[in-house]
Amino acid sequence: MTTTAAPPPGKKVNRIGLELVEYKGGKTTLCAGCGHNAISERIVEAFYEMGIEPERVVKLSGIGCSSKSPAYFLGRSHGFNSVHGRMPSVGTGAILANRQLLAIGVSGDGDTGAIGIGQFVHLMRRNLPIVYIIEDNGCYGLTKGQFSPTADLGSRLKTGVVNDLPPIDTCALAIELGATFVARSFSGDKKQLLSILKAAVSHGGTSMIDVLSPCVTFNDHEGSTKSYSYVKDHDEPLGEVSFVPYFDDIEVDYEPGTTKEVEMHDGSKLYLKKVAENYDPTHKGAALRLLRETSERGVYATGVLYVERNRPNLVELLNLVDEPLATLPLERVRPPKAALDEIMESLR
Partner 1 sequence: MAPSDVAVHESASEQTTRRITNDFSIQVATVNGSGSQTANLVLLRSIFQMGVPVSGKNLFPSNIAGLPTWFTIRANKDGYIGRKKEIDFLVAMNPETAREDVMTLESGAAVLYDEPLRLDALRDDLVFYAAPFDKLVVPVCPNAKLRKLVRNMIYDGMLAKLLDIDLAEMEKALRKQFGKKAKAAELNRGALQAGWDYAEANFTKRDPLRVERMDKTGGMILIEGNAAAAIGCMMAGVTVVGWYPITPSSSLAESLIAYMREHRVDKETGKATFAILQAEDELAALGIVLGAGWAGARAMTATAGPGISLMAEFAGLGYYTELPAVVFDIQRVGPSTGLPTRTAQGDVLSTAVLSHGDTKQVLLIPSSVGEIYQMAMDAFDLAETLQTPVFVMSDLDLGMNTWMSDPFPYPEGPIHRGKRLDRAKLAELGSFGRYRDVDGDGVPYRTIPLDGLPPYFNRGSGHNPDGKYSERPDDYVNNLDRLARKFETAKTHVPKPEVDDDPEAAIGFIAYGTSHWAALESRDQLRKEAGVRTAYLRVRAYPFTDEVKAFVERYHRVYVIEQNRDAQLRALMRIDLAPELMRNVRSVLHYDGLPIDARSITDSVLAQEAGHDGMTTE
Binding stretches for partner 1 (CB under 8 A): 55-56, 58-60, 70-71, 76-83, 86, 88-98, 100-101, 118-119, 121-122, 314, 318-322, 324-328, 330, 332-335, 337, 339-341, 343-344, 347-348
In DSSP terms, 108 is beta-bridged to: 135
Residue whose CB is less far from partner 1, 78 or 158 = 78
**Residue 91 CB, nearest distance to partner 1 (Å)?**
6
**Residue 111 CB, nearest distance to partner 1 (Å)?**
13
Residue whose CB is less far from partner 1, 75 or 223 = 75
Residue whose CB is less far from partner 1, 90 or 244 = 90
Residue whose CB is less far from partner 1, 125 or 283 = 125
Residue whose CB is less far from partner 1, 32 or 333 = 333
**Residue 30 CB, nearest distance to partner 1 (Å)?**
13
Q: Which 8-state DSSP code applies to residue 163?
A: P
CA dist list (Å): 297 to 13, 44, 222, 294: 44, 34, 18, 5
**Residue 158 CB, nearest distance to partner 1 (Å)?**
27
**Residue 212 CB, nearest distance to partner 1 (Å)?**
27
Residue 51 CB neighbour total at 10 angstroms? 16
Burial class (CB in 10 A: 0-12, 13-18, 19+), 137: buried
**Residue 242 CB, nearest distance to partner 1 (Å)?**
31
Looking at residue 27, its amino acid is K
Residue whose CB is less far from partner 1, 102 or 193 = 102
Residue 282: strand, helix, or coil? coil
Looking at residue 188, its amino acid is G
Candidates 2, 17, 58, 122; CA nearest to 324 is: 58
Candidates 85, 90, 86; CA nearest to 113 is: 85
Per the CB < 8 A criterion, the answer to whether 51 and 7 are in contact is: no
- Distance, first Cα to last Cα, the chain: 54
Q: How far apart, in whole angstroms, are the C-alpha atoms of residue 164 and residue 290? A: 24
